[in-house]
Chains A and B, each alone.
Chain A
Amino acid sequence: MTTVEAFQAAFDAAVAADERIEPRDWMPEAYRASLVRQMAQHAHSEIIGMQPEANWITRAPSLRRKAILMAKVQDEAGHGLYLYSAAETLGTSREELLDKLHTGRQKYSSIFNYPTLTWADVGAIGWLVDGAAITNQVPLCRCSYGPYARAMVRICKEESFHQRQGYELLLTLSKGTPAQHEMAQDAVNRWWWPSLMMFGPPDDASAHSAQSMAWKIKRHSNDELRRRFVDICVPQAESLGLTLPDPDLRWNEELGRYDFGPIDWSEFQQVLKGNGPCNEQRLDRRRRAHEEGAWVREAAAAYATKHGARPGRPGEHPPEGRPAGRTHRERPEKPAEETGTRAEETGTHVEAAV
């Protein structure tokens, strides 16, 4: 057996045994590329996904809702950060990934190319879009790549707050004045089908699905997750007192699940190609934020260099992801407290300030 074959065998065995692959393990190039693509797309979705909701922060109709919405949009920035970090363990810097987003070489979830036209859209996004995302993401907590799985554990914990607040928001509207009820119904009408599209193309048309499942990056097929989501949503919609805009939706006694109508995949393809209602607007705003922030990032970097506040070598990235990887042992545990000096000297330790 050649070395590569031996590595491949070890990798396959680890995946088969449900062990996690960690950053510096050998992995097939295609596995690495597939992971970077998926994690990047996921991270981009989080930060582009801030925009449709941030659209309502300044108009939130009560102070309680305003606080909740700010916290939610903040979480999305945080989720983006966790995911970029996970992607960076494979040796691709956040700067590179952002550049690919800004130049259209990497995608984000098409759902965020739909506009938030009313306040109820904030609720619909929480209930349906975050609900679909959770259905997609919970299995990712067991994804074969360790850093991705760990990021997802943290994210899923926080996402359930997002979904519940959306549901509660819609419930309040649905039970409110007739105008509020109508607003809620209208939002659900507009967001239902795009949410179903979030699970991706049908299994027989999905380019990456089969391989991703074999690698245990993905655990369930697109159609399987989509069906699961529909089954969850139908009774939830009933409790909301709202209807789902699908005349074909009915319980199938034989299969023990809901049948639903055909999805308009031509719309999905159009939005994916850039012809959605907000594609340009979302990307433009993201690019502008990045460009307008350049002077700030440069200023902080210049300050750090001037004041020697950066212990490492500026701008240096370990070639194979991180850590830098020499052949020494890991640093002994508890570096700061036991010696009592290092932390204070470098100012990198804070106790009880959080």
Chain B
Amino acid sequence: MTAPWHSAALALGDDALVLSHRLGEWAGRAPVLEEEVALANIALDLLGQARILLSLVGDEDELAYLRDERSFRNLHLVEQPGGDFAHTIARQLYFSTYQRFLYERLASSDSEFTALAAKAVKEVAYHQDHAEHWTLRLGDGTAESHERMRRACEALWTFTAEMFQPVEGLDAVDFPALEERWLDSVASVLERATLTVPDGPRSRAWTAGAGRQGLHTEPFGRMLAEMQHLHRSHPGASW
């Protein structure tokens, strides 16, 4: 792992891998059958992206299953555990909006990521559309759903600044501009959903950029323990 774009591939690949895993936890638990299918589609898209990105750097399974927690480069936002459906939708809104703008940028500039981004941006646009539609319905649905959505948006707000820390190897991306665009877009969706933009801090004492440096939150270690256990129990085996 030498070239700067390797760390970028890991950062983006780990985001997709970890979020896909979290979405996979919904299987068999979604609020309605139609949503089982929708969430699985998104999880599968992300897993597909993760596999391509990790394969740019090395063996996808070695990278996914044999790295320790401190070597993962994903954002704190994507590693946060479960929560209710509102948390999932709030996270999808925050992340897919970011991912869409980022991949649009990558698709239009010449790099190792151009082809991947061009394909992924269509998938991600659909994820964003899904998140937006559900944000509207939860925010402007019943009193209960409004309250749950408000809480979820606030709870995850603190993880949103991290997305815009510069990533090594993505020099073509103007992160401050991306952040401005993101804020406008998310604010407009929240407003239409009768929600307000949370006013809390968008990062904590040492969290901004921490995930990209391999410093994670506690639940992530347990997630990896579950994800990696079987693979690690049979060293050298093929599956």
Residues of A within 8 A of B142 (CB): 295, 298-299, 302
B234 touches A180 (CB 8 A): yes
B239 touches A293 (CB 8 A): no
**Nearest-Cβ distance from residue B53 to partner chain A, whole angstroms:** 11
- Given A297-B32, A299-B141, is A63 in contact with B237 using a C-beta cutoff of 8 Å? no
CA distance A293 to B29 in the complex (A): 8
A59 touches B229 (CB 8 A): yes
B85 touches A296 (CB 8 A): yes
A237 within 8 A of B: no
A35 within 8 A of B: no
A303 touches B136 (CB 8 A): yes
A176 within 8 A of B: yes
B144 touches A61 (CB 8 A): no
**Nearest-Cβ distance from residue A100 to partner chain B, whole angstroms:** 16
Residue-wise interface mask of A (50-92) relative to B, using a CB-CB cutoff of 8 A (1 in contact, 0 not): 1100100111111111110011011001101100100000000
A177 touches B140 (CB 8 A): no
A-B contact pairs, 22 of them (CB 8 A): A54-B27, A57-B24, A59-B226, A61-B65, A61-B231, A61-B237, A62-B61, A62-B65, A66-B24, A70-B24, A70-B40, A74-B44, A173-B239, A180-B237, A289-B28, A289-B31, A297-B31, A298-B142, A298-B144, A298-B145, A300-B137, A300-B141
Residue-wise interface mask of A (295-329) relative to B, using a CB-CB cutoff of 8 A (1 in contact, 0 not): 11111111100110000000000000000000000
Interface of A is mostly: helix
Residues of B within 8 A of A250 (CB): none
CA distance A345 to B41 in the complex (A): 28
**Nearest-Cβ distance from residue B102 to partner chain A, whole angstroms:** 22
- Given A78-B37, A295-B145, A295-B148, is A63 in contact with B64 using a C-beta cutoff of 8 Å? yes
Residues of A within 8 A of B40 (CB): 70-71, 73-74, 77
B90 within 8 A of A: no
B48 touches A296 (CB 8 A): no
Task: Give A residues with C-beta under 8 Å from B.
Answer: 47, 50-51, 54, 57-67, 70-71, 73-74, 77-78, 80-81, 84, 119, 172-173, 176-177, 179-180, 285-286, 288-289, 292-303, 306-307
B25 within 8 A of A: yes
**Nearest-Cβ distance from residue A342 to partner chain B, whole angstroms:** 22
Inter-chain contact total with CB atoms closer than 8 Å: 141
CA distance A172 to B17 in the complex (A): 24
**Nearest-Cβ distance from residue B21 to partner chain A, whole angstroms:** 6
Nearest residue, chain A, Cβ from B60 = A63
- Given A77-B33, A303-B141, is A70 in contact with B27 using a C-beta cutoff of 8 Å? yes
- B29, B51, B140, B227 interface centre (most CB from chain A within 10 Å): B29
**Nearest-Cβ distance from residue B223 to partner chain A, whole angstroms:** 8
**Nearest-Cβ distance from residue B30 to partner chain A, whole angstroms:** 7
Task: Give B residues with C-beta under 8 Å from A.
Answer: 17, 21, 24-25, 27-37, 40-41, 43-44, 47-48, 50-51, 54, 60-61, 64-65, 84-85, 136-138, 140-142, 144-145, 148, 226-227, 229-231, 234, 236-239
CA distance A70 to B24 in the complex (A): 7
Residues of B within 8 A of A119 (CB): 230
Residues of B within 8 A of A60 (CB): 230
**Nearest-Cβ distance from residue A222 to partner chain B, whole angstroms:** 29
**Nearest-Cβ distance from residue B200 to partner chain A, whole angstroms:** 24
Residues of B within 8 A of A179 (CB): 234, 237
B48 touches A67 (CB 8 A): yes
CA distance A172 to B238 in the complex (A): 7
B24 touches A293 (CB 8 A): no
Residues of B within 8 A of A59 (CB): 226-227, 229-230
CA distance A307 to B47 in the complex (A): 35
Partner of B234, one of A64, A65, A177, A303: A177
Partner of A58, one of B21, B138, B140: B21
B44 touches A77 (CB 8 A): no
A285 touches B29 (CB 8 A): yes
CA distance A179 to B230 in the complex (A): 12
Partner of A81, one of B37, B44, B229, B239: B37
Nearest residue, chain A, Cβ from B146 = A299
- Given A65-B239, A74-B40, A293-B85, is A58 in contact with B31 using a C-beta cutoff of 8 Å? no
Nearest residue, chain B, Cβ from A119 = B230
